[in-house]
């Protein structure tokens, strides 16, 4: 196979980020407040992923979106900003602590009326949604062992042409380390193998940040 890719050095990555729309003051302050939480801040999506999520929501003309794994809200704000007027984003997270930060920034971004954040296991929240195919865009960025179950709940609720994004599908390269048998790695590997063969969707795996797969329902 012909390997054609450009390796991202830190300097080239900085160049890439500098040639994306810059985060506004709300996202900058949110990133700073999240960074002050310490190493856990690594969970936040990369800025170019935020840009991509807004872009995708606009591209799809998304009215209904769902996010699984909201943390302090960076990706949620990015998605909500791309929705059509009157659009709604349902966010799922387990943590009251992260939710309280996220809600503060949703309000500051003027998005409080567009985003509902449910603090509960995401699977419970998803199972409680109507089974009608109404969702235009979903973004999955929570516990890796849950991805497959989230997919199984989201797909029937996705409209044809709708898209589900899965973050961290390269898992820092661990997906190709056969000696890594950790639960998260095994789950991501199984999901990646399953998605590329699932005829109900078309997929593209992108080397964005830690790997992002987009699955479009046929």
Ligand X SMILES: C[S@@+](CC[C@H](N)C(=O)[O-])C[C@H]1O[C@@H](n2cnc3c(N)ncnc32)[C@H](O)[C@@H]1O
Pick the stretch among 5-13, 142-150, 193-201, 204-212 that binds ligand X (CB under 6 A).
Answer: 142-150
What gap in Å lies between CA 191 and CA 169, rounded to an integer?
Answer: 9
Using the contact rule CB under 6 A, the part of the chain among 37-45, 79-87, 108-116, 177-185 near ligand X is 37-45
What is the layout of strands, in order, in the sheet containing 88-93? 115-119, 88-93, 64-68, 135-140, 158-167, 212-217, 201-206
153 binds ligand X (CB under 6 A): no
Q: Which is nearer to ligand X, 60 or 140 (CB)?
A: 140
Q: Which of 26, 45, 79, 90 binds ligand X (CB under 6 A)?
A: 45
Residue with tokens 């980020």: 17
Q: How far is the CB of 176 from ligand X (least distance, A)?
A: 21
Enter the tokens of residue 206. Answer: 């992108």
Q: Binding marks (x or -) toward ligand X, 99..138, rule CB under 6 A?
A: ----------------------xx----------------
Please name the residues in contact with 103: beta carbons below 8 A apart, sequence gap of 6 or more.
73, 112, 117
Task: Return the range that interacts with ligand X (CB under 6 A); candidates 1-9, 19-27, 89-97, 187-195.
Answer: 89-97
**Binding of ligand X at residue 69 (CB under 6 A)?**
yes
Distance CA(113)–CA(107), nearest Å, equals 8
Shortest reach from residue 59's CB to ligand X, in Å: 19
The residue behind tokens 């603090």 is 119
State the burial class of residue 171 (Cβ atoms within 10 Å of its Cβ: 0-12, 13-18, 19+): buried
Residues 6+ apart with CB under 8 A from 101: 30, 33, 34, 72, 73
Q: How far is the CB of 197 from ligand X (least distance, A)?
A: 26
- Number of residues interacting with ligand X: please give it, by CB under 6 A: 20
**Where do contacts with ligand X occur on this chain (CB under 6 A)?**
43-45, 69-72, 74-75, 92-95, 98, 121-122, 141-143, 146
């Amino acid at each position: 196979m012909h390997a054609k890719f450009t390796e991202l050095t830190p300097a080239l990555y900085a160049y890439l980020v500098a040639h994306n729309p810059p985060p506004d003051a709300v996202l900058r302050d949110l990133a700073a407040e999240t960074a002050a939480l310490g190493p856990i801040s690594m969970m936040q999506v990369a800025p170019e992923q935020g840009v991509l999520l807004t872009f995708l929501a606009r591209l799809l003309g998304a009215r209904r979106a769902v996010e699984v794994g909201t943390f302090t809200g960076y990706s949620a704000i990015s998605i909500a900003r791309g929705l059509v007027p009157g659009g709604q984003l349902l966010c799922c997270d387990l943590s009251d602590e992260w939710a309280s930060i996220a809600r503060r920034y949703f309000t500051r971004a003027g998005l409080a009326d567009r985003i509902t954040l449910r603090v509960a296991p995401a699977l419970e929240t998803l199972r409680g949604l109507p089974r009608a195919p109404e969702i235009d865009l979903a973004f999955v960025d929570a516990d890796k062992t849950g991805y497959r179950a989230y997919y199984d709940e989201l797909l029937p609720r996705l409209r044809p042409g709708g898209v589900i994004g899965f973050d961290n599908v390269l898992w820092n390269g661990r997906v190709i380390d056969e000696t890594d048998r950790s639960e998260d790695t095994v789950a991501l590997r199984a999901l990646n193998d399953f998605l590329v063969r699932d005829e109900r969707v078309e997929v593209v795996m992108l080397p964005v940040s830690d790997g992002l797969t987009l699955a479009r329902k046929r």
